[in-house]
Structure 1
Amino acid sequence: MSTTHPQSTTADRRKVVAATIIGTTIEWYDFFIYAFAANLVFAPLFFSPAGEGVAMILSLLTIGLSFLFRPLGAFLAGHYGDRLGRRPMLVLTLLLMGGATTLVGVLPTYASAGLFAPIALILLRILQGISAGGEWGGAVLMSVEHAPLGKRGQFGMSPQLGVPIGMIVASGILALMRVIAPGDAFLEWGWRVPFLLSVVLIGVGYIVRRTVEESPVFQEIREHRDQQSAPIKQLFARHGKLVVLAALLFAGNNALGYMTTGGFIQGLASRPTDEGGYGFDPVGVQLAILLSAVVWLLSTMLGGWLSDKIGRKKTYFIGWALLLAAAIPLFELVKLGVGGIAVGASFMAVGLGLTYGPQAAWYAEMFPARIRYSGVSISYAIGAIIGGAFAASIAQALLQAFGTTWAIVPYLVLMVVIAAVATALLKDRRDIPLDIDFEKSGQWESWHRDQAPHEAGRKS
C-alpha cells in the first residue's frame, strides 16, 4: 500500500523541507525574542508600578499566557486544516505571528501610555499564542506526509529544526543589539529592533511557503471527499487518551527547554546582582545560549535520523536519560559564568534534540489521516501548556521562595519522569501507512490495538 501520493516528487519534498524550516524558524524567532525581552526589559518598561519582584513575575507570566491560547489556535487550525488543507493554515499562522511581533516593536511603554501599554502587550502575546498553536501541526504534516517510507523521522525533523535555528538567529541579533545599543540604549530602543525585523522575515517565509504543494495525504482526502465535518469531536471521542499521553510526552521536553527558550537562564545570568541576577556579561550570555542552540540543532537532526533506525521510543528514552543527567548540575554550571552556561545549556540541548527530533513523525503516526491535523496540533498545544507555559514563572517563583536554584531541580526532574512514563505507555508505530485508504480499510484501528511490528508497514 502506498504511503505517499504519486505526485510527491523529490523536488516537491525538497521544497517542503525548505519551506517548513524557513517558516518555523521565523515563527520561533518571533516567539523567542519575546521570551528574551520578557526576561530582560519588559518588567521595568511595562509592569514597573507593581514593584521590582512582582513586575518580574508578571513579565514572565506573559510568556506563559500565550500558551493558554495555543489550544484555541490548535482547535481552529486543526479544524480547518483537516477540512481545507494544511498549506492555507501555514500561511495564515505565519502572517499572524509576524504581524503581532512587529507591533510589539512599536508599542509605547507604561511611562508614556499607562495601562494601555501592558494591556496591548498582553493582547499581542495572545495573538502569538494562537499562531504558534496552529502553525506547528501544519508544518509537521506537510513534512511527514510528503516523506518517503523509512525516512519520516528525517523529514519530520525539518520543522523541528526551526526551533534551534530561530533561537540561534534570535540570540545572535540580541547579542548584536547589546553591542550596538549597550546599557540604557538597549532599554530605550535597542530591544525594539529584533521585533521590527520580523517584517523582512515574513516576506521571505510567505513567498517560500506559497510555492509548496499541498500535502499528498490531504489531496487524497479531498479527492475522496472524506473531510471530517467535526474532526475535533471525533478526535476526543475516539482518541482522547492518546491525546493526553502525547501531550505528556512533549511536556518534559518543553519544561527543560524553556529554561533557555523561555529566557529564564539568560535573564538570571545577565540581570544585575541588585536585581536578583548574577550580573554576567549579557553579550557573552547570549553567545553561550547561541552555542547551545547549535548543539540543539545537531542533536535534533540526530534524533530524527536515529528514530528511523532504532525507533521513536528508544530514541526518546536515550534523550530522557540525558536530560535527567543534565538537569541536576544545570544551575550550578550557570553560576560559574559564561563558560558554565555554555556547557550546561549545551549538555541539556543534546537530550532536548533527541526528544524533539522524532516528535513530528511519532505524532503523525499516532493519528488517522482525517483527524491528524487536529490530533497533532491539540496534543502539542496541551503539552506546551503543561510543560512550557509557566516553566520560567515556576522557576522564578521557586527561586524567590527558597532562595536557591536547587529548588528548581526537583521540578525539572519530575517533568522528565512524567514524560518518560508517557513514552513507555505509547506504542511505537514507525512506518505505519498514513494514507486515507489504510484508515478506511479499518486496519488503522487494529494496528494501534494489536501491537503489530513496524515491519508490516514496510510490506503494506
Structure 2
Amino acid sequence: MLIRSRRIGSPRRYRVSVMATTTLTPVPAGETDAERRKRLRTVVAASLLGTTVEWYDFFLYATAASLVFNQLFFPDQSSFVGTLLSFATFAVGFVVRPIGGIVFGHIGDRIGRKRTLAITMVMMGVATALMGVLPTAASVGVLAPILLLLLRIVQGFALGGEWAGAVLLSVEHSPDGKRGLFGSIPQIGLALGLALGTGVFALLQVALDDQAFLTYGWRIAFLVSIVLVVIGFVVRLKVDETPAFAEVAELAKKSTAPLRDVVVPPNTRNTVLGLLARWGEGSAFNTWGVFAIAYATTELDMEKVPVLVAVTIASLVMAALLPFSGLLTDRYGAKTIYLIGITAYGVAVYPVFVLFGTSNLLWFTVGLVIVFGVIHALFYGAQGTLFASLYPTPVRYTGLSVVYQFSGIYASGLTPLILTALIGAASGSPWLAAGYLVLTAIISVVATALIRRDDLHLTTGPQARPVA
C-alpha cells in the first residue's frame, strides 16, 4: 500500500491510500481534534442548510399547488380539474429534474461537488423568489400559468443536481464508521424543508384572512426564500471539496463520459435496481407530504390550517428520527434498513387510509406521524447512503442523480396525479389509490433485495469498507 500526502485547494492535507481499489480516509494529516470537529460541523451545516432551503423552495410549490395555484392560475376550471392542472405543473418539475441531474451530475463529476451545489442553490432561490411576484390569471390571463410553468422548470432543473451533490458532500466527508449517519443529514433537510413550507403557509393563513392570503399572503412564503438562500450559499462556500473527489482529480481518474458509464456494464444492474428500489419511497413521500393535503381538504372536507399543521408535525418527527436511521444504517447496513422500512410502508398503507377515512383530525395526524414521521424516516435515512453506494467515485454524482431524478418522474412527480385520478375513478374511494401505493412498495422491496453487497462501493454495517 502506498501512502501519499497532497493539498486539495486549501491548507489541509489528506492521507490517501492507493490499493487495488482507490480508497481515501478523510482524515487531514496533522489535523487536531478541534480542527476536525470544526471541519465536520461545517460539512454538516452546509449539507443540512442547503438541502433545507432547496426542499423548502421545491415543496413550497407543492403546498401552494394544493391550496392556492388551482384558484389563482387555473380559476376557470372546476375544483377537480383545477387541482389536476395544478398538480400537473407540480409534476413538470420532476420531469425536468433528470435533465438537471444529467447536466449537474456531469459537472459534479468533472469539476467537483462544492461548486456545483453553489450553482444549483442560486438557481433554485431565484426561481422561487420570482414565483412570489408572478401576476395571476386575473391580471394577465393565460400568460400566468405559462410563467408559473417556466419557473417550475427552472426549479426542477436546479434540484436535479442538488440532492445527489448534498448527499455526496456529506457521505464523502464522513468519518470512519459514521457513513450512514452522515448520509442521513441531507435527508433531514428534506423533512425540515417540507415542515418549514407547510408551517409558513399555516402561519400565514392564521395571521391573514382568506382574501388577504390569496391576494398577497402566499407570496410572502416564496419571497422568504431569498434570505434562506443567502444563508445557505454563504455556508456552502466555507466547506472543502470532498476528499474522495479530490483524490480522483489528483490521480486523473475522472470519467470522460459519466452518463455513459452509469448505464453500461458493470453499472447497468445497479442503475436498474436503484431506479426500481426508489419507486416506493418516491410515491410515499409525495403521498403523505403533498397529496394528503389536497385529499384531506377536498375529499375529507377538513380545514386547511389543521391539515398543514398535521403535515408539519409529521415532518418534524421525521427530521428528529432520521439520525437514528443513520445510526441503524451504520450498525446493520443501508440495504437492510431500507428494505425493512419499505416493507413497513407497504404494510401500513391501508390502515393509514382507514384512519384518514374517519375525517378526524386526531386520527389523521396519528396516521401521518406513523407512516410519514416514523416509517418514512426509517428507510429515507438509509436511502442516500444506499444509492451513493451503487457507484464508484468517478461517476457517483451522475449515477446518484440518474437514480434519484429519473425515478422521480414516475415515483414522485406523477403520484399526486395518479392518486387523484384513481380516487376520481372510484367515486371518492381511496382503495384503488392505496392498492397502487402497495404495488410500488412491493416493486421496491424486490429490487432492493436483489442489490448485491459485493456490488456496493460504499458499504455500511458489519465489515464496512472505505469510500471507493
TM-score (norm 1): 0.91
Equivalents in 2 of 1:206, 1:169: separation in Å? Answer: 18
Q: Give the letter for the 1:139 counterpart.
A: A
Summarize the Cα distance change of 1:296–1:49 in structure 2 as closer, same or farther, 3 Å threshold. Answer: same
Summarize the Cα distance change of 1:458–1:99 in structure 2 as closer, same or farther, 3 Å threshold. Answer: closer
Q: Give the letter for the 2:109 counterpart.
A: D
Give yes or no for the alignment of 1:338 onto 2:376: no
Contact 2:244 2:467 survives alignment (8 Å): no
The runs of 4+ residues in structure 1 deviating greater than 3 Å are 428-434
Contact 1:86 1:141 survives alignment (8 Å): yes
- Write the deviation string for residues 282-315 of structure 1: whole angstroms up to 9, x where unpaired: 2211111111112211332222110111112221
Give yes or no for the alignment of 1:316 onto 2:338: yes
Give yes or no for the alignment of 1:119 onto 2:146: yes
- Determine the structure 2 residue equivalent to 1:237: 264
Written as runs of structure 1 = structure 2, the 5 A alignment for 1:103-252 is 103-238=130-265, 239-252=267-280
- Write the deviation string for residues 314-362 of structure 1: whole angstroms up to 9, x where unpaired: 2122212321232112222223322122111111122211111011211
Give yes or no for the alignment of 1:409 onto 2:434: yes
Contact 1:249 1:420 survives alignment (8 Å): yes
SS of residue paired to 1:358: helix
SS of residue paired to 2:177: coil
- Determine the structure 2 residue equivalent to 1:7: 28
Equivalents in 2 of 1:90, 1:260: separation in Å? Answer: 28
Q: Give the letter for the 1:455 counterpart.
A: Q
Contact 1:252 1:415 survives alignment (8 Å): yes
- Determine the structure 2 residue equivalent to 1:294: 316
Give the counterpart of 1:356 among 375, 380, 403: 380
Give the counterpart of 2:445 among 420, 436, 450: 420
Alpha-carbon shift at residue 278 of structure 1 (Å):
2.6
- Determine the structure 2 residue equivalent to 1:279: 301
Summarize the Cα distance change of 1:456–1:360 in structure 2 as closer, same or farther, 3 Å threshold. Answer: closer
Summarize the Cα distance change of 1:459–1:49 in structure 2 as closer, same or farther, 3 Å threshold. Answer: closer
SS of residue paired to 1:455: coil
Q: Give the letter for the 1:7 counterpart.
A: P
Contact 1:105 1:195 survives alignment (8 Å): yes
Q: Give the letter for the 1:377 counterpart.
A: S
Contact 1:364 1:372 survives alignment (8 Å): yes
Contact 1:365 1:429 survives alignment (8 Å): no
Alpha-carbon shift at residue 454 of structure 1 (Å):
5.6
TM-score (norm 2): 0.89
Q: For structure 1, which segment, 308-317 or 372-381, has the greater mean C-alpha deviation from structure 2 after superposition?
A: 308-317
- Determine the structure 2 residue equivalent to 1:326: 348
- Determine the structure 1 residue equivalent to 2:394: 370
Give the counterpart of 1:387 among 400, 411, 415: 411
Equivalents in 2 of 1:430, 1:23: separation in Å? Answer: 30
Alpha-carbon shift at residue 430 of structure 1 (Å):
10
- Write the deviation string for residues 91-125 of structure 1: whole angstroms up to 9, x where unpaired: 11111111111111111111110111000000111
Equivalents in 2 of 1:131, 1:95: separation in Å? Answer: 9
Contact 1:270 1:280 survives alignment (8 Å): yes
Give yes or no for the alignment of 1:27 onto 2:54: yes
Summarize the Cα distance change of 1:184–1:4 in structure 2 as closer, same or farther, 3 Å threshold. Answer: same
Summarize the Cα distance change of 1:456–1:257 in structure 2 as closer, same or farther, 3 Å threshold. Answer: closer
- Determine the structure 1 residue equivalent to 2:20: none
Equivalents in 2 of 1:84, 1:344: separation in Å? Answer: 44
Equivalents in 2 of 1:333, 1:95: separation in Å? Answer: 41
Equivalents in 1 of 2:304, 2:455: separation in Å? Answer: 43
Equivalents in 2 of 1:264, 1:345: separation in Å? Answer: 12
- Determine the structure 2 residue equivalent to 1:67: 94
Equivalents in 2 of 1:50, 1:426: separation in Å? Answer: 46
Contact 1:334 1:341 survives alignment (8 Å): yes
Q: Give the letter for the 1:312 counterpart.
A: A
Equivalents in 1 of 2:338, 2:51: separation in Å? Answer: 22
- Determine the structure 2 residue equivalent to 1:304: 326
Equivalents in 2 of 1:170, 1:29: separation in Å? Answer: 5
Count of aligned residue pairs for this structure pair: 437
- Structure 2: gaps of 5 or more residues: 1-16, 18-22, 30-35
Equivalents in 2 of 1:109, 1:226: separation in Å? Answer: 51
Q: For structure 1, which segment, 168-177 or 236-245, has the greater mean C-alpha deviation from structure 2 after superposition?
A: 236-245
Q: Give the letter for the 2:405 counterpart.
A: A
- Determine the structure 2 residue equivalent to 1:45: 72
Equivalents in 2 of 1:178, 1:326: separation in Å? Answer: 31
Contact 2:350 2:434 survives alignment (8 Å): yes
- Determine the structure 2 residue equivalent to 1:87: 114
Equivalents in 1 of 2:324, 2:461: separation in Å? Answer: 23
Summarize the Cα distance change of 1:90–1:456 in structure 2 as closer, same or farther, 3 Å threshold. Answer: closer
- Write the deviation string for residues 132-175 of structure 1: whole angstroms up to 9, x where unpaired: 11101111111111112221100111111101111121121111
Report percent identity of matched pairs: 38
Alpha-carbon shift at residue 188 of structure 1 (Å):
1.8
- Write the deviation string for residues 358-384 of structure 1: whole angstroms up to 9, x where unpaired: 112112221011111111111111221
Equivalents in 2 of 1:291, 1:312: separation in Å? Answer: 26
- Structure 1: gaps of 5 or more residues: 272-276, 435-451
Contact 1:149 1:431 survives alignment (8 Å): no
Equivalents in 1 of 2:343, 2:251: separation in Å? Answer: 44
Equivalents in 1 of 2:51, 2:94: separation in Å? Answer: 17
Alpha-carbon shift at residue 433 of structure 1 (Å):
5.9
Equivalents in 1 of 2:97, 2:467: separation in Å? Answer: 38
Q: Give the letter for the 1:407 counterpart.
A: L
Equivalents in 2 of 1:6, 1:384: separation in Å? Answer: 35
Q: CA RMSD in A?
A: 2.1
